[in-house]
Amino acid sequence: MLDTVDANNHKTKVLLGRSLFTTALLGGLLVTLGGCTPPESYRTQADDVTRDILEESWQSAMGRTEEGFTIEPASDTLRRRLLLDQHLPMRVPASAGSSDDQLIEQWPDEKYFSDRRKTNNSAIKPPYKITLQDALEIAATNSRNYQSQKEVVFQTALRLDLERDDFRNTWSGVVNSLLSTDLGTSTETMGILNQDSLSVSKKFKNGSEFMGLLAVDLAKLLNGGRDGSTGIRLDTSFSIPLLRGSSEFVVTEPLTQAQRDVVYSIYSFERFKRTFAVAIASDYLSVLQQLDRVDNAVENYTRVVSSTRRARRLADAGRLPEIQVDQSVQDELRARNSWISAVQSSEQTLDRFKMTLGLPTDALIQLDASEFDVLLNSERYARYLEAQVLDTDLSVPPADAPVVLVAPSMDDAGPMEMPQTDAVLIALMNRLDLRIAVGEIVDAQRGVAIAADNLRADITLLGSASLGESRSLGSAGSNDAQLRTDRGFYSLLLGIDLPFERTRERNSYRNALINYEQTIRSLQDAEDSVKFDVRSVLRSMLESRETIKIQAESVRVAQRRVDSTDLFLQAGRAEIRDLLEAQNALNSAQDSLTNAVVNYRIGELELQRDLGVLEVSADGLWVEFDPSTYDIDAIRTTLNELRPTEDDLTTQGSNNDQSN
C-alpha cells in the first residue's frame, strides 16, 4: 500500500513539474511578446504618424508642405560647438545639449540620440562672425523658444492621432494560467486552468458601439482521473443611440476639433515664424546701431579732447578765459561718460541677442558690420540722405508773413509704403491669427449645437448575445463546449431617459451661447487690432522716412557749424562753449540719423509681418513681399461679397419670428 501511495505522489510531482514548466514557458512567451517591441520603434511610429498628419494639414492650411520640419535637435549644435571650442564654463554636460546628458541606467531608448540629424559644424575660432542671414538660420536651430513652438505643433498632431484612435478597431488579448490545489476535502484536487480571450471593440461615427469577446478555457485535473475539457464562449454586445448623441456631427466633435486644432497650431506657428524673424532682424540691427553709437561716441570724445587741449593752449597764451577751459573739461568728462555708457549698452544688447539666438551669453560673437553699411548706403535710402535743394531765387518772406506748413507727401515713399486702405485689405485676407479667430466662431457654433443636443431625451437600443460555456476545474469532467446558436442567450433592451432633469445641460447650453458671443467679440477685437497694427506701422514708416531726411540735413548743418565755429574760435570770434555745443549737436544728429534708418528698415519688415505676407521657411530664412504682385481690386471684391446687408438682417429676423 505504501508503494502505491509513493507511486501516486511521484506521478503527482511529475505532473506538477510538467505543469509548472508549461506555465513558466507560457508566461515567458507572453513576456517576450509583450516586450519584443523596443521603445524606439514606438517613437518612430509616433513620428511617422505625426509627419503624415502635418503634411496633410500643412497642405490644407497653407497650400504647401513644410519642408524640413522636425522637432529632433541636431546632434552637434552651434551652441555646443561654442561651449566646447571656446572652453566656456558649464554647470552640467546637459548645458551643451541632451546628446551630452548623463543618462540614468533605466533609460529605455538606446537609439534616441544616434538617430539625430548630423551637422557639419567645424571648429570655431573666436570671435565667431555671423551675418543677418546666419542669425536667422542659427535662431531656427538653436533658439529654445523656436523649438518649443515646433513641439506645440507636433503635440497637437499627436492629440489628433489619439482622437482618431477612438474610431479604430481596438483589439485586446488576455491569457491567464491558474495552478490550483484544494486540500480542504477528503480527496486532494489539483489542476491547471488556462483561460485565453480575444476581444475587439469598435465605435462608429453615428454613436453606435460594438464589442465582441471570444474566450477559450482549458481545464485539466492533475490527479484522480486527470479529467479535462475545453470551454469556448462568444459574447457580443452593441448599443445604438436613437436620439441624444445619435448624430455623426455630435459624436465626431472631439475628432473635428482636434483636426481644426492642428490647423490652428500651424497658423500660429507660421505667424510665430514671421514675428520671430522680424524680431531677430530688429535685434541684429539694434546691436549694430549700438555699435555705431559707440563709434559716434568715440569720435565725439576725440573731438572734445582736442578742443580741451586747444582751449588749454589758448588760455595759457592769455587768449581765452580760464572759465571756458573748465567748460571744455566738463564736456570732456561728459563725453567720456557717454562713451563708456555706449560701450556697456552695446555689450548688454549683444548679450541679450545671443540669448534670443539660443547661444551662450559669454560666447565670443561678432556681428557683420557690413550689414549696417549696406543699409546706410542702400539705393532705397540714398535719395533721403541727399542734400535738400532749395530754390535760391525765392526771397525770404517777412517775419510776420503767414507760415504755411507743408505736410509729408507720398511722392517719395518707399516701395513698401502703400495707402492704408489697401494695406488693411491685404492684412484682412492674409493674417493667420485672424483666420484662427474666424475659425473659432465656427467652433463656438458647433458647441451651441452640441449643447442643444444634450437637452434631448436618451433613447438607446441595447443588445447582447452569448454562445457556448466556460470551464473551471470543477467542471473539468464535462464535455467540450460548443458554439451553438440554438442554445445561445440573446437580449434586446430599449432604454428611455426622459429629459425631466436637465439642469446641468440647460446651464451648459446657456454658457455655450455666452461663449459664442464672447468669440464674436474676440474676432472683432482681433480685426480691429490688425487694422491698428497696419495703420500704426505705416505712420511709423512715414515718420522715419521724414526723420531720415531731416537728420541727414541736420548732420550736414552740424558738421558745417563745427567747422565754422572752430575757425571762429581760432580767430578769437567765438567762445569754446559755442564749439562744444556744435560738437554735441553733431553727435546727436549722427545718432538720430542712424536710428531713423534702422527704424525705417524695421518698419518695412514689421509691415510685411502685420500684413501676413512675409514668407519664412523652416530654416528661418524669409522671402520679402512684392506689393506689385497683389490684386487689390480682387481682394476688395472678395471682402465686399462677405459684407452683411440690411436685407440679411431682415431675413434673419423673419426666420427667428417663424421659429418662435
pLDDT digits (tens, 9 = 90+) for 416-472: 889 999 999 999 999 999 999 999 999 999 999 999 999 999 999 999 999 988 888
pLDDT at 404 over 90: no
Q: Give the closest residue to 612 by CA, choosing from 267, 135, 153, 143.
A: 267
How open is the CA angle 300-306-312, to the nearest 5 degrees?
Answer: 135
Q: Is the pLDDT of residue 341 over 60?
A: yes
Q: Do 155 and 144 share a domain, yes or no?
A: yes
* CB-based contact 584:535 (threshold 8 Å): no
For range 23-49, the mean pLDDT: 69
Q: Is 217 a domain residue?
A: yes
**Choice between 329 and 13, residue whose per-residue pLDDT is larger:** 329
69 and 157 assigned to the same domain: yes
For residue 80, being part of any structural domain is answered with yes
Return the residue matching grid coordinates 473659432. 440
Arithmetic mean of pLDDT, 522-526: 95
Task: Give per-residue pLDDT as tens, 595-604.
Answer: 898 899 999 9
Lookup: cell for 84: 566646447
Q: Per residue in 60-87, pLDDT tens?
A: 999 999 888 889 888 788 998 999 888 9
- Do 69 and 143 reside in the same domain of the chain? yes
Residue ending a domain, among 113, 142, 165, is: 165
Q: Report the pLDDT value the prediction gives residue 19, as an integer from 0 to 100.
A: 44
For residue 184, the model assigns a pLDDT of 65
What is the distance between the alpha carbons of residues 211 and 236, in angstroms, rounded to a whole number? 6
Please check whether residues 150 and 226 belong to one and the same domain.
no
Same domain, 152 and 48: yes
> What pLDDT shows up at residue 254?
93
Q: Are residues 150 and 174 in the same domain?
A: no
- The dihedral through the CA atoms of 550, 555, 559, 562 has a sign that is positive
Residue 393 lies in a domain: no
State which residues form the domain around 46. Answer: 39-165
353 vs 375: CA distance, rounded Å: 20
- The answer as to whether 345 is a domain residue is no
| pLDDT category of residue 13 using cuts at 50, 70 and 90 | very low
In a domain, 572, yes or no: no
Each residue of 45-76: b (16+ CB within 10 Å) or e?
Answer: eebeebeebbeebbeebeeeebeebeeebbbb
Q: What is the mean pLDDT of residues 3-15?
A: 46
In this predicted structure, the answer to whether residue 105 has a pLDDT above a threshold of 80 is yes
User: Tell me: the pLDDT tens digits for 342-366?
Assistant: 999 999 999 999 999 999 999 999 9
Q: Which residue has the higher pLDDT, 408 or 354?
A: 354
Residues 130 and 220 in one domain: no
161 and 60 co-located in one domain = yes
Pick the range with the lowest mean pLDDT from 136-145, 472-481, 482-491: 472-481
**Planar angle of CA 14, 20, 21, nearest 5 degrees:** 90
In this prediction, residue 654 has a pLDDT band, given cuts at 50, 70 and 90, of low
Would you place residue 21 in the very low, low, confident or very high pLDDT band (cuts 50, 70, 90)?
Answer: very low
Taking alpha carbons only, the member of 65, 523, 54, 67 closest to residue 262 is 54
Mean pLDDT of the chain: 85
The domain boundary, picked from 142, 165, 188, lies at 165
Highest mean pLDDT among 119-133, 508-522, 543-557: 508-522
Query: By the 8 A CB rule, do 177 and 193 touch?
Result: yes
Number of domains forming the structure of the chain:
2
pLDDT over 70 (residue 25):
no
Given pLDDT bands bounded at 50, 70 and 90, which one contains residue 652?
low
* Region label for 291, one of left (φ > 0), alpha (ψ between -120 and 50) or beta (otherwise): alpha
Beta-carbon contacts of residue 177 (< 8 Å; ≥ 6 apart):
22, 23, 26, 27, 192, 193, 194, 195
In a shared domain, residues 134 and 81: yes
What pTM, to 2 d.p., does this model score?
0.85
For the stretch 134-150, pLDDT in tens is 999 999 989 999 999 99
273-331 confidence digits (pLDDT tens): 999 999 999 999 999 999 989 999 999 899 889 888 988 888 888 888 888 888 889 88
Sequence-distant (≥ 6) Cβ neighbours of residue 650 within 8 angstroms: none
Inside any domain, residue 366: no
* Between 170 and 440, the higher pLDDT residue: 440
| 510: CB partners within 8 A, 6+ apart | none
Residue 590 lies in a domain: no
Q: Any bridge partners for residue 467, and if so which?
A: 234
Residues 107 and 188 both lie in one domain: no
Query: 165, 189, 218 — which closes off a domain?
Result: 165
Q: Are residues 76 and 150 in the same domain?
A: yes
Say whether both 24 and 140 belong to one domain.
Answer: no
Q: What is the pLDDT of residues 190-247, one digit of tens each?
A: 888 888 899 999 999 999 999 999 999 898 888 767 888 898 999 999 999 999 988 8
In a domain, 199, yes or no: yes
The 3-class SS string of 336-405 reads HHHHHHHHHHHHHHHHHHHHHHCCCCCCCEEECCHHHHHHHCCHHHHHHHCCCCCCCCCCCCCCCCCCCC
Higher pLDDT, 351 or 619: 351
Dihedral sign for Cα 611, 616, 622, 623, please.
Answer: negative
DSSP β-bridge partners for residue 175? 196
**pLDDT at residue number 428:** 93
The position carrying cell 562753449 is 577
pLDDT of 580 over the 80 cut: yes
